[in-house]
Amino acid sequence: MKPILLQGHERSITQIKYNREGDLLFSVAKDTVTNVWYSVNGERLGTYNGHTGAVWCVDCDWDTKNVLTGSADNSCRLWDCETGKQLALLNTNSAVRTCGFDFSGNIIMFSTDKQMGYQCFLNFFDLRDPQQIEDNNPYLSVPCSENKITSAVWGPLGEFVIAGHENGEINQFSAKAGEILKKAKEHTRQINDIQTSVDLTMVITASKDNTSKLFDSNSLDHIKTFRTERPVNSAAISPSMDHVVMGGGQEAMEVTTTSTRIGKFEARFFHAAYEEEFGRVKGHFGPINCVAFHPDGKSYSSGGEDGYVRIHYFDSHYFDFELEA
Amino acid sequence: MQDTVAMVDDPEYEEEEEEPSFSDPEDFEDDIEDEELLEDILREKPQEADGIDSVVVVDNVPQVGPERLEKLKNVIHKIFSKFGKITTEFYPEADGLTKGYIFLEYAAPTQALEAVKNADGYKLDKQHTFRVNLFTDFDKYMNISDEWEAPEKQPFKDFGNMRHWIEDSDCRDQYSVIYEAGERTAIFANDAKDPILAEERARWTETYVRWSPKGTYLATFHQRGIALWGGEKFKQIQRFSHQGVSLIDFSPCERYVVTFSPLMDTKEDPQAIIIWDILTGQKKRGFHCESSAHWPIFKWSHDGKFFARMTTDTLSIYETPSMGLLDKKSLKITGIKDFSWSPGDNIIAFWVPEDKDIPARVTLMQFPSRQEIRVRNLFNVVDCKLHWQRNGDYLCVKVDRTPKGTQGVVTNFEIFRMREKQVPVDVVEMKESIIAFAWEPNGSKFAVLHGESPRINSSFYHVKNNGKIELIKMFDKQQANSIFWSPQGQFLVLAGLRSMNGALAFVDTSDCTMMNIAEHYMASDVEWDPTGRYVVTSVSWWSHKVDNAYWLWTFQGRLLQKNNKDRFCQLLWRPRPPTLLSVEEIKTIKKDLKKYSKIFEQKDRLSQSKASKELVDKRRAMMEEYGRYREAAQQLYQEQKSLRLELRGGVDTDELDSNVDDWEEETIEFFINEEIIPLGDL
């Protein structure tokens, strides 16, 4: 499959996300730029300008009306998707690491880093109440004193947020009162990314302990484990097949001591039920920081340390491929 | 320097302070023992039994009359004062002649011991060979009870079948793996499909492990010494206490092990290098050692009968089991630079550099006769390296020379044909600098890597019987810095280790073809199994902190397994003992190989299908379990549909095409390509 190369960032990609219908692909990077692209051909629609620091996270609501971004410039911003206008600016005390719209698109959550004497907080704003935005006053702010949140997604019905921490823990935080509903400690090192399946029933975690694990969203039961020899930076679940894709590499610092070969950083495909790797896609010049499946399952994208986003459309072999069983 | 002023004359001093009192307070009780304060003096305090322990009795002394007594005494003195200071001597007489035995007293018991050790058996003349004994020994021997007591029976330590691993029905070789940065050591049996774990222990060794030359023992290192393990269950066979041991070496016959520790060494009791008897666990002898730079310091002859070491201008050869110097003296070889034993015979090759008018020489010397079987003069030599072929059939001396009148260094290979009368020598001249050289282990070929990076070439030579050395083939532009021959010969791997990023080339030297070219990125080691069927390339954590793993290849270069092990450090194949089959029996087996190979192939096919059946069954079970989970999740999902509709204002978003009415059709034109077609002349 020949990939579409998106060149719109000058520094490493931190997150990429498709909108619900899959026609748009959002990408954010350390260069403060937030881009949105047509996923069908890689043409860029536009940018959302305003952040002055590295943008760590991006999300789009179910109706593709609003876009949410969080940045190291200590702010979380809301944008109008079509026009690019900044709708709200929420200042924080430390960098915003992860953010997201709930199922209804009415409530936003974001977490802030443990920095400069400030704890890690998980904040909730209700967009239907403009006062909260104006006063920068979240209706719920949950502190996380021990291990900061490194990645988080909403649960299936907007009742809780599933958060991954820097010690490998996963917690369900209630969106009503902020108490921890369920816990799971399966990983041994930092959770780099959590993503949901398209129907939100499962989540997949990517961890620095070289594994990626599949959990049930409601019960946090540990279903599957996918093992590699390198830290995993991001993982995603295919919407249409029993596959997962994982991207990783190693710490940016260690890159020059290992492979200096061109284009040898790979995205790996595992069979979700057999936990066996069945394919790899090369192409990035540096570790892969984020992967995402198109909601129809016919393509996937990856964003790397090299600043490129690559969109890959699967050929028929991918769909016909079966492991003997 | 400033003149010192006497304190007393210093005017200030007198006036200043009263001299501090140095006496002990009144009731001070001295609690230091005499032993502590006066240790060195007390050691010399005459002890009661001292005198007797320093006395030796010498027998077979010539019986002489008073006129020759003075002369006899002088001779005895000359011989025996070598071992220490003689304080008293007594020559008992009877009937005007000395009795034929004398008593000598030394200044210390250690000297008496030296005398016994060295003078016992000394041949004064044809009729008189001294017998020297400690005086106390007489007492000891006299007091042996007349009743013979049977020695205590030591319980028989049954370690089981020490060759158990050879009896594996599928002929799997074993190898040791150290991983988790040294925390875990495991022994695996090698199978083409997957390694089979035989034994695994945490902290089995503190640094690394070594196999004995015939594979019987596994040696592990510890702060206090080494331990040997063996048998089916790897029980501890023997333990050798040597504080701080860092290096070991086995004798080829597996009777002895040599340990080195940089820590312990005293003048009286050399402890840097110790030679142990493996079966009894006894310390046989200790030696000094200045540095362990070229370990092993002691080189063993192939049959374990002799071991030798080189010190400045000296070559010392010792024999087993006495551990004494062969012929009681070392060889003086001025300027000796390097030596090595033939792996097939008790012959040592050594070389001496140029000395004024005498050219550099390589000498082959036979032991124990010390006969020089061959000497070869070499001119304008810068350096020499000795490379023996594994059976001792050939010796290659790599000579780096600066020919007269030139500045550069050229290299020759002097090939000594050991099996031919008078050991003829042939010379192969090499135009480029040599990177690596290796003999085919049981054949007459050798491989050379030469050139300068990045233009490295590999050449293969055949030493023919008719006196010629033929270049069979040369490959250029190789990415290699090391040569690894299969232990059975014919096949080899050219590897570019470390800085060359693990490039591998598998070569069949029977027709010098490249069977396969592959890569194991950042490989640091290549190890053939003892049978020559498999090769393991590995990335050790000691040289590279990421991607630590070992890969198994067939001898043809087909990759069989990739085994990732957390912080993998070292893999060593377990050596096999020499075959018990005679040459005829091997011939018969080779003839009937077709018969055997049919059986083996059938067996292989069965195990293959069994493996895939196992895998298929496993997958089926996993899929079923996963399917059940998904079904339950789906059910819950369906039940929650109404909640979802509510959250999104009645819009059904469960499927991508749930709201077909909402869709708009749009036709977009994409620019794909531009083509300019000239319309020709109009």
DSSP B629: H
- End residue of a domain, out of B549, B578, B607: B578
Name the residue range of residue B445's domain. 163-204+435-578
Q: Does any domain span residue B426?
A: no
Q: Is A254's pLDDT higher than 60?
A: no
Specify the pLDDT at position B291: 67
Of A62, A157, A325, the CB nearest to B653: A62
Neighbours of B508 (CB within 10 A): 16
Q: Does any domain span residue B64?
A: yes
Helix (H) or strand (E) holding B641: helix B641-647
CA distances A204 to A62, A162, B389, B634, Å, are 20, 11, 59, 17
Closest by CA to B440, choosing from B486, B398, B372, B504, is B486
Q: How far apart are CA A195 and CA B400, in angstroms?
A: 65
Residue entry with tokens 């000795």? B386
User: SS3 of B296, please?
Assistant: coil
User: SS3 of B52, please?
Assistant: helix
Of B545, B546, B656, the CB nearest to A296: B656
Q: Does any domain span residue B234?
A: no
Helix (H) or strand (E) holding B34: helix B34-37
Contact residues on chain B for A323, CB-CB shorter than 8 A: 619
Closest by CA to A226, choosing from A207, A240, A239, A241, is A207
Q: How far apart are CA B401 and CA B205, in angstroms?
A: 45
Q: Which residue of B has its CA nearest to A324?
A: B616
Of A103, A250, A272, the CB nearest to B546: A250
Listed by number, the residues of chain A in 153-172 with a beta carbon closer than 8 Å to a beta carbon of chain B are 156-158
Q: How far apart are CA A289 and CA A274, in angstroms?
A: 25
Q: Does any domain span residue B649?
A: no
Count residue pairs from A and B with Cβ separation < 8 A: 68
pLDDT band, residue B660 (cuts 50/70/90):
low
Which tokens is B390 given? 């594994």
Contact B619 A216 (CB under 8 A): no
Contact B626 A216 (CB under 8 A): no
Report, as an integer, the average pLDDT of B91-106.
86
Q: Does any domain span residue B511?
A: yes
Q: Is B194's pLDDT higher than 90?
A: no
For B344-399, write each residue's pLDDT tens digit: 899 999 999 988 888 899 999 998 888 999 999 988 888 899 999 999 999 999 99
Q: Which residue of A has its CA nearest to B627?
A: A273
Q: How far apart are CA B458 and CA B448, in angstroms?
A: 6
Domain identity same for B470 and B546: yes
Q: Which residue of B has its CA nearest to A199?
A: B654
Contact B521 A242 (CB under 8 A): no
Which tokens is A159 given? 């009742």
Report, as an integer, the average pLDDT of B100-108.
87
Domain identity same for B196 and B121: no
Strand-pairing partners, residue B609, are none
Neighbours of B158 (CB within 10 A): 8
Contact residues on chain A for B654, CB-CB shorter than 8 A: 199
Domain identity same for B102 and B76: yes
Q: How far apart are CA B385 and CA B450, in angstroms?
A: 16
Contact residues on chain A for B627, CB-CB shorter than 8 A: 273
Domain identity same for B65 and B180: no
Residue B87: Cβ-neighbour burial (10 angstroms; 0-12, 13-18, 19+): middle
Which tokens is B358 given? 């005498």
Report, as an integer, the average pLDDT of A197-203.
92
Q: What are the structural domain ranges in chain A? A: 4-320
Closest by CA to A246, choosing from A265, A259, A261, A262, is A265
Q: How many structural domains does chain B have?
A: 3
Does A20 contact B at CB distance below 8 Å?
yes
Enumerate chain B positions whose Cβ falls within 8 A of a Cβ in A: 521-522, 545-547, 549, 564, 612, 615-616, 619-620, 622-623, 625-627, 629, 633-634, 636-637, 640, 643-644, 647-648, 653-654, 656, 670
For B16-50, write each residue's pLDDT tens digit: 556 777 777 777 766 676 666 776 776 666 655 55
Q: Which residue of A has its CA nearest to B633?
A: A201
* Cα angle for residues B30, B35, B40 (degrees, 5° grid): 130
Most confident of A189-198, B43-52, B474-483: A189-198
Q: Does any domain span residue B595?
A: yes
Contact A201 B636 (CB under 8 A): yes
CA B286, B290, B296, B298 torsion-angle sign: negative
Distance from CA of A39 to the nearest CA of B (A): 14
Domain identity same for B606 and B485: no
Residue entry with tokens 């089995």? B204
Residue B124: Cβ-neighbour burial (10 angstroms; 0-12, 13-18, 19+): middle
More confident residue, B146 or A135: A135
Q: Is A173's pLDDT higher than 90?
A: yes
Percent with pLDDT over 70 in chain A:
95
Task: Return the CATH superfamily for domain A4-320.
Answer: YVTN repeat-like/Quinoprotein amine dehydrogenase (2.130.10.10)
Contact B648 A259 (CB under 8 A): no
* Cα angle for residues B400, B403, B407 (degrees, 5° grid): 90
Domain identity same for B441 and B514: yes
Q: Which long-range contacts (CB under 8 A, 24 or more apart) does B293-298 make?
A: B295/B247, B295/B249, B295/B260, B296/B247, B296/B249, B296/B258, B297/B260, B297/B273, B298/B249, B298/B258, B298/B273
More confident residue, B55 or B663: B55
For B575-598, write each residue's pLDDT tens digit: 988 888 888 888 888 888 888 888
Which tokens is B564 given? 């990732």
Q: Best mutation site among A21, A268, A277 for testing chain B: the one with the most B CBs within 10 Å?
A: A21
Q: Which long-range contacts (CB under 8 A, 24 or more apart) does B244-248 make?
A: B245/B221, B246/B207, B246/B221, B246/B292, B247/B292, B247/B295, B247/B296, B248/B210, B248/B219, B248/B221
CA distances B607 to B130, B533, B597, B601, B614, Å, are 73, 19, 15, 10, 10
Residue entry with tokens 């015939």? B214
User: Is B282 in contact with B275 (CB distance < 8 Å)?
Assistant: no
pLDDT band, residue B13 (cuts 50/70/90):
very low
User: SS3 of A147, please?
Assistant: coil
User: In what order do the strands lie in the sheet containing A4-7?
Assistant: A4-7, A308-313, A299-304, A288-293
0.80 exceeded by pTM: no
Does A188 contact B at CB distance below 8 Å?
no
pLDDT band, residue B322 (cuts 50/70/90):
confident
Domain identity same for B454 and B554: yes
For B423-438, write each residue's pLDDT tens digit: 889 999 888 889 999 9
Q: Which residue of B has its CA nearest to A216?
A: B633
Q: How far apart are CA A198 and CA A237, in angstroms?
A: 8
Report, as an integer, the average pLDDT of B569-576.
91
Specify the pLDDT at position A91: 92
Residue B390: Cβ-neighbour burial (10 angstroms; 0-12, 13-18, 19+): middle
Q: Best mutation site among B648, B660, B672 for testing chain A: the one with the most A CBs within 10 Å?
A: B648
Q: Is A262's pLDDT higher than 50?
A: no
Of A199, A218, A273, the CB nearest to B626: A273
Which tokens is B323 given? 């551990």
Q: Is B11's pLDDT higher than 80?
A: no
Specify the pLDDT at position A245: 95
More confident residue, B667 or B481: B481
Q: Does any domain span residue B215?
A: no
Q: Which residue of B has its CA nearest to A297?
A: B656
Q: How far apart are CA B523 and CA B549, in angstroms?
A: 9
Specify the pLDDT at position B17: 58
Q: Which residue of B has its CA nearest to A61?
A: B648
Mean pLDDT of chain A: 89
Q: Is B650's pLDDT higher than 80?
A: yes
Domain identity same for B459 and B568: yes
Domain identity same for B440 and B561: yes
Q: Which 3-state string (H, E, C) describes B503-564?
A: EEEEEECCCCEEEEEEECCCCCEEEECCCCCEEEEEECCCCCCCCCEEEEEECCCCEEEEEE
CATH number at residue B128: 3.30.70.330
Contact residues on chain A for B619, CB-CB shorter than 8 A: 273-274, 323-325
Residue entry with tokens 């600043």? A307
Q: How far apart are CA A85 and CA A67, in angstroms?
A: 10
Identity of the amino acid at B548: N
pLDDT band, residue B145 (cuts 50/70/90):
low
The interface pTM score, or ipTM, of the predicted complex is: 0.85
For B445-459, write each residue's pLDDT tens digit: 999 999 887 888 999
CA A198, A199, A200, A201 torsion-angle sign: negative
Contact residues on chain A for B616, CB-CB shorter than 8 A: 324-325
B607 φ, ψ (degrees, to nearest 5): -70, -35
Neighbours of B661 (CB within 10 A): 5
Helix orientation angle between B583-591 and B593-639, rounded to the nearest 10 degrees: 60
User: Is A142 in contact with A122 (CB distance < 8 Å)?
Assistant: yes
Contact residues on chain B for A218, CB-CB shorter than 8 A: 636
Contact B626 A229 (CB under 8 A): no
Q: How far apart are CA A172 and CA B184, in angstroms?
A: 38
Does A256 contact B at CB distance below 8 Å?
no
Distance from CA of A200 to the nearest CA of B (A): 9
Contact A21 B546 (CB under 8 A): no
Specify the pLDDT at position B589: 86
Domain identity same for B574 and B440: yes
Domain identity same for B559 and B440: yes
Closest by CA to B255, choosing from B282, B288, B227, B224, is B282
Specify the pLDDT at position B479: 86
Report, as an integer, the average pLDDT of B538-542.
90
